[in-house]
Amino acid sequence: MSDWYRDFANSGVGTTITKQLGLPRPAVLRRHEPGQPLLPGPAVVGSAGEGRLRDELTRLLKDDGVTVVSPVTVDGGTDGDRLAAVLLDATGLTGPADLAAAHDFLAPAVKRLAPSGRVLVLADPPADAASPAQAAARQALDGLVRSLAKELRGGSTANLVQVPLGAEASLAGPVRFFLSGRAAYVDGQVLTVTAADVPAGQDRDRPLTGKVAVVTGAARGIGAAIARVLSRDGAHVVAVDVPAAGEQLAQVANEIGGTAVALDITGTDAGTRLAQQLIARHGGVDVVVHNAGITRDKLLVNMDAARWNSVLAVNLQAQLDITQALLDTEGALKPGARVISVSSQSGIAGNRGQTNYAASKAGIIGMVRAWAPAFAERGATINAVAPGFIVTEMTAKMPLGTREVGSRLNSLQQGGLPVDVAETIAFLAQPDSAGVNGQVVRVCGQSVLGA
Amino acid sequence: MAAQTRKAAIVGGNRIPFARSNGAYARASNQDMLTATLDGLVARFGLQGEQVGEVVAGAVLKHARDFNLTREAVLGSRLSAATPAYDVQQACGTGLEAAVLVANKIALGQIESGIAGGTDTTSDAPVAVNEDLRRVLMEVNRAKTVQQRLKALAGLRPGQLAPEIPRNAEPRTGLAMGDHAAITAAEWEIGRQEQDELTVRSHQALAAAYDRGFFDDLVTPFLGLSRDANLRPDTSGEKLAKLKPVFGQGEGATMTAGNSTPLTDGASAVLLASDEWAAEHDLPVLAHLVDAQTAAVDYVHGGEGLLMAPAYAVPVLLARNGLSLQDFDFYEVHEAFASTVLATLKAWESPAFCKEKLGLDAPLGSIDRSKLNVNGSSLAAGHPFAATGGRIVATLAKLLHEAGPGKRGLISICAAGGQGVVAILES
């Protein structure tokens, strides 16, 4: 499952050839490893207009041991150090004229961005704007960031975080995530935070210490990667999969010191059975990851009821039923619980031959958005993650041409790894992500599909 | 030692699906199967790195190199390497006997937790060298000079190359177990049709239990198999009636490949503990092992059937616990052969047998057949000798747990050598 083309493009002769021919040159992405510093180099924080977050961002970076250089040094360009991250506080925008300041700050800074660098823009949501001009300026950032993300090379990413007034306390977790190696394959995204009670004192290396996490579809592929990452971050993982996958499921559970539960999630009493086991064996659950999913591809006109029904039952109805059962069973969801559903790029962009699959995955997005306010009321969150082209055993079986083209159709010019999806889920599961609710985070390297 | 004894709790179990001989597990060894079974149990109950009090298991068909089979399986598993283990072997009673041994140490307070199990393969069975060849080779080994060595080697003959393959036969009678069972079936006048009916019920009950997810937390798939390979949910009386008898002779032969268990490969394990240990680990208590009994009969000269020992063990166990045969909610009578189950039940109903052989004033009586092997038994699941006890203990414990507190179950397992192991579980 290695990316032979990426390896070739990064080899000595490969670099020369791909440069000469103008071929894509996918980078080796900076991915998270425990104990790693937040950033491998210095960061610069600038602002457009009189923003309210600049000092806060600088303090946050310094807390994490990041050297923060001033924009002046950047402009001078005498300093040999390349920048690991460029942060723009755009909360001071009043109208389109202020955007010139954004350009003035970003252009020289981005020029000096190191490989796997990060551009992160923070702004207020356009919907909260005081005037059409202000809304226009805020919305303009969307186009700016998405375009910049497409211009960046060398594994660098650009993302936008919208911070409403009063939600400043929710910022630290998402900022750390986007700057870190955990967000290696998250590019060109807009995330909106909300005001929430963010607990203090999260363990940086093991943010899920003492938490119980249940992961469905955990026997292989992305599900197994999610189980491993949640366990690495300190959680006890209850790994769920269909009884027939029990052998691999036991191996995953044993590898990470978790618990294996063989369960058909479409069973009528599956939610209640799971809730009761979680209460009896683990005193409830902190993190629920709805990952189990199946595909039964056919063009709509050729699709029989069995294909349609099984995909909707596993991918969507089971998520609704199990979540409802956990909500209804006293003590099943612990305070501050996190529910994370795995959606898909197909659910956003659609995909030929996948009317059933895309319907189920789009349905998930509707589900998390509708449930978010009720979850917020109990101090919990519910979010979705939408993977793009992720290299798994399944994609390894695709024809070479389709696979190669499919994996390059994004700004990072490569397929993501299961661990990239898992890292984003682990981020949403953290206590620090209390202010991220009802969001859909795409893990797609800024795919051209459905962008 | 503890002043008072306590009843050991059955926390749960795990087994791999049973495969027909030379089928899915043809290349798996006893150690492979037992290790996979332990690992499935570890994964189910989160026991990675846990030091369990003791692991007790065994195999009936065992290679000489597997002298420490269970300990080796523990070392290959995810349990703590500081977990002690030992092997036992009591033919088909091995698995249940292992559970009794673990339960007894828990009852005495010598251990807080333990795993009982068993494994058997007829596909990877030990093959020994011919007895004549073995003597020659031992003589060569003892020789001190070249001359002596050559002299010993001169004893070699081509016929000695034929290996000794283990047979499913009694050493003292030379009869296959099925032939012995056929004698008993004829003696007790067990009809072909009732044997086939019991067989059909076993297959249907096992299939239904799988379908309702009963085995989801009792079985872990292995080598591509997720249900017992011997299971035939669509079998019927008509289909079974077409089979030719394979045991017994002449017109009166009733035992076929359908109503007898096939040679099977597989392994099982049961987690037992004190109530305290289970509570500390947030693990359930499905049932308790109340009491157990073994018995043996003289099938060589005494005129008793090879597989009739449980008929003798049960009344002893009932008397000691002040129970009647009817005081149970479930009966698990190992289906070595359909005729064995039927002969045992008939013996308990027989005033003559109960008086003359068991010394009882009145017969034990009949049981409610709807409580017998309700989730199928060995005829459907198959019977890897040492693994059957673990399968039955875990299945019955879960059945009792589902039925609610205060329910009682009886296990009866016959074994080669004219032996039997029986036990009572209670939820």
Answer whether B282 sits within 8 Å of A267, measured CB to CB: no
* Per-residue pLDDT, A451: 61
Give one DSSP letter per residue of A284-333, joined into a string. SEEEEEE-------B-GGG--HHHHHHHHIIIIIHHHHHHHHHHHSTTTE
Q: What is the mean pLDDT of chain B?
A: 92
Closest by CA to A240, choosing from A257, A267, A271, A264, is A264
Which of A164, A192, A220 is the C-terminal boundary of a domain? A192
Asked, for residue A26, whether it belongs to a domain, the answer is no
> Mind telling me how many Å the CA of B96 is from chain A's nearest CA?
25
For B177-213+290-426, CATH gives 3.40.47.10
* Per-residue pLDDT, A79: 53
Note whether A80 and A114 are same-domain residues.
yes
Tally the domains of chain A: 2
Spot the catalytic one: B180, B288, B383, B401: B383
Answer whether B36 sits within 8 Å of A247, measured CB to CB: yes
pLDDT (tens, 9 = 90+) of chain A, 451 residues, equals 467 777 888 887 877 887 777 777 788 999 999 989 999 999 999 999 888 999 999 999 999 999 999 876 555 555 567 999 999 999 999 999 999 999 999 999 999 999 999 999 999 999 999 999 999 999 999 999 999 999 999 999 999 999 999 999 999 999 999 999 999 999 999 999 999 999 888 888 899 999 999 999 999 999 999 999 999 999 999 999 999 999 999 999 999 999 999 999 999 999 999 999 999 999 999 999 999 999 999 999 999 999 999 999 999 999 999 999 999 999 999 999 999 999 999 999 998 999 999 999 999 999 999 999 999 999 999 999 999 999 988 788 878 888 888 888 898 889 999 999 999 999 999 999 999 999 999 999 998 887 6
Q: Which residue of B has its CA nearest to A284?
A: B282
Note whether A216 and A123 are same-domain residues.
no
Chain A contact for B40 (CB, 8 A cutoff): yes
Chain B contact for A283 (CB, 8 A cutoff): yes
CB pairs under 8 A between A and B: 68
Give the model's confidence band at B280: pLDDT under 50 very low, under 70 low, under 90 confident, else very high. Answer: very high
Answer whether B282 sits within 8 Å of A263, measured CB to CB: no
Note whether A161 and A244 are same-domain residues.
no
Cα–Cα separations (whole angstroms), residue B249 to A210, B167, B338, B343, B353: 67, 20, 17, 18, 25
More confidently predicted of B344 and A448:
B344
Closest by CA to B331, choosing from B240, B244, B396, is B396
Asked, for residue A381, whether it belongs to a domain, the answer is yes
Answer whether A247 sits within 8 Å of B43, measured CB to CB: no
Asked, for residue A451, whether it belongs to a domain, the answer is no
Torsion of CA B223, B227, B229, B233, to 10 degrees: -160
Note whether A98 and A147 are same-domain residues.
yes
Chain B contact for A372 (CB, 8 A cutoff): no
H or E stretch including B262?
A: none
Note whether A354 and A418 are same-domain residues.
yes
* Per-residue pLDDT, B173: 84
Instruction: Report ipTM (2 d.p.).
Output: 0.84
The answer for residues whose C-beta is within 8 angstroms of residue A446's C-beta and 6 or more apart is: A146, A149, A150, A157, A187, A188, A189, A410, A411, A412
Residue B400, pLDDT > 70, answer: yes
Residue numbers of A annotated as active site: 357
Note whether A147 and A282 are same-domain residues.
no
Annotated active-site residue B383? The verdict is yes
CATH code where residue A356 lies: 3.40.50.720
Answer whether A254 sits within 8 Å of B222, measured CB to CB: no
Contacts of B282 in chain A (CB under 8 A): 280-283
Note whether A353 and A317 are same-domain residues.
yes
Note whether A100 and A236 are same-domain residues.
no
Structural domain span for residue A53: 31-192
Contacts of A281 in chain B (CB under 8 A): 46, 282-284
Q: Which residue of B has its CA nearest to A240?
A: B44
DSSP for residue B18: P
- The residue with tokens 């599961």 is A429
Asked, for residue A424, whether it belongs to a domain, the answer is yes
Answer whether B221 sits within 8 Å of A280, measured CB to CB: no
> Structural domain boundaries of chain B?
177-213+290-426
> Mind telling me how many Å the CA of B304 is from chain A's nearest CA?
44
- Dist CA A120 CA A54 (whole Å): 12
B 281-300: CB under 8 A from A: 282-284
Answer whether A262 sits within 8 Å of B220, measured CB to CB: yes
The pLDDT > 90 percentage for chain B reads: 73
Give the model's confidence band at B145: pLDDT under 50 very low, under 70 low, under 90 confident, else very high. Answer: confident
Residue B154, pLDDT > 90, answer: no
Instruction: Please tell me the pTM assigned to this model.
Output: 0.89
Note whether A253 and A367 are same-domain residues.
yes
Residue B325, pLDDT > 90, answer: yes
* Per-residue pLDDT, A3: 76
Chain A contact for B80 (CB, 8 A cutoff): no
- Dist CA B325 CA B323 (whole Å): 7
Mutate which: A247, A265, A269, A273, vs B, most B CBs within 10 A: A247
- The residue with tokens 């009761």 is A276
Q: Are strands A83-92 and A113-123 parallel, antiparallel or unpaired?
A: parallel
Answer whether A243 sits within 8 Å of B42, measured CB to CB: no
Note whether A184 and A231 are same-domain residues.
no
